[in-house]
């Protein structure tokens, strides 16, 4: 479905410089004037926005614009130098990082599976820690997410080296979701697979989002992927969040010259 058609009733409103979600919805993640520096370089520059519970936000921008750094502030892999990040109302600076990450799935490019563990053991890794030795509960979690992701049971005893690229990426997503987190962070998870497999994985993650209602923050460098997947799209430029809006608004009313250049080739396809 074209982005304009599916985002027409998205319920976002214009505010100063950015688009913020309706205040009557619960916020899953809030960035309050977040800035992060690495030496003299500003990776994230005064990002101020909120993401509603259950949203699918695609984050796009040029290489080095701060997408991954912003994503990592959510699970406290990176801490802001200024401002704060709240996850379901709790500041990451005051949270136990281990407890915080138990409710946040993290899927990255290439899946990065444990090579010495089977598919079943990879997916079961976090549930085993959480379930305190309850083997039946862990096995149920593995079976549940293998079914949701669309992984056949006959690969459970295989090792990562025995999997195709698409299978390995699916296992990585299943592992990220196996503890039933509230938020999924995905950092260009499909960029290392071929175009056909990538399209299939995009369909899978959209289906998973619809089925589970999980909040997804999805970093990509592909404008087609961002417009297709995101209920909202966050465009970043040089560390700043320059526009946060549904795909239709990104296409019809780009907020800056950079956003306009980003979508100019897509506007005639989607904005009808």
Identify whether 17 is part of a domain: no
Please state, rounded to an integer, the average pLDDT across all residues of the chain. Answer: 86
* Residue 185: strand pairing partners: 106, 217
Rounded Cα distance between 115 and 172, Å, is: 12
H-run or E-run covering 236: strand 232-237
Q: What is the pLDDT of residue 268?
A: 56
**pLDDT tens digits, 136-185:** 888 888 888 888 888 888 999 999 999 988 888 889 888 888 888 899 99
Tell me the CA end-to-end span of the chain in Å, nearest whole number. Answer: 12
Its pTM stands at 0.86
- Write out the two tokens for 185: 């962070």
H-run or E-run covering 186: strand 183-187
Q: What is the pLDDT of residue 28?
A: 96
Q: What is the CATH number of the domain that holds 226?
A: 3.40.50.300
Identify whether 9 is part of a domain: no
Identify whether 227 is part of a domain: yes
Q: How many domains does the chain have?
A: 1
Tell which residue, 42, 54, 103, 40, has the closest CA to residue 74: 103
Identify whether 10 is part of a domain: no
| Mean pLDDT (whole number) for 44-54 | 96
Which domain does 205 fall in, by range?
27-271
CA-atom Rg of the chain in angstroms: 19
What is the residue-wise DSSP string for 85-108? EEETTEEGGGS-HHHHHHTEEEEE
Rounded Cα distance between 169 and 116, Å, is: 16
Identify whether 85 is part of a domain: yes
Rounded Cα distance between 170 and 189, Å, is: 10
Identify whether 14 is part of a domain: no
Identify whether 252 is part of a domain: yes
Identify whether 15 is part of a domain: no
């Amino acid at each position: 479905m074209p982005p304009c058609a599916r985002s027409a009733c998205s319920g976002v409103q214009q505010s100063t410089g950015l688009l913020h979600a309706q205040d009557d919805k619960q916020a899953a993640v809030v960035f309050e004037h977040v800035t992060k520096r690495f030496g003299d370089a500003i990776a994230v520059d005064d990002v101020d926005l909120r993401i509603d519970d259950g949203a699918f936000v695609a984050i796009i921008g040029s290489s080095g614009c701060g997408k991954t750094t912003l994503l990592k502030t959510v699970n406290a892999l990176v801490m802001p130098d200024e401002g704060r990040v709240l996850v379901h109302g709790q500041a990451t600076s005051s949270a136990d990082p281990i407890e915080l990450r138990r409710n946040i799935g993290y899927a990255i490019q290439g899946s990065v599976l444990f090579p010495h563990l089977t598919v079943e053991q990879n997916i079961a890794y976090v549930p085993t820690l959480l379930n305190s030795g309850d083997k039946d509960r862990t096995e149920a979690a593995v079976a549940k997410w293998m079914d949701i992701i669309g992984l056949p049971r006959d690969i459970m005893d295989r090792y990562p080296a025995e999997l195709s690229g698409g299978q390995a990426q699916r296992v990585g997503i299943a592992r990220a979701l196996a503890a039933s987190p509230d938020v999924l962070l995905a950092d260009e998870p499909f960029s290392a697979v071929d175009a056909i497999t990538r399209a299939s994985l995009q369909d899978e993650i959209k289906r998973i989002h619809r089925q589970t209602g999980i909040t997804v923050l999805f970093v990509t460098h592909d404008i087609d992927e961002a417009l297709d997947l995101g209920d909202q799209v966050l465009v970043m430029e040089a560390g700043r969040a320059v526009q946060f809006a549904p795909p239709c608004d990104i296409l019809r009313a780009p907020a800056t010259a950079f956003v306009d250049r980003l979508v100019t080739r897509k506007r005639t396809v989607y904005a009808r």
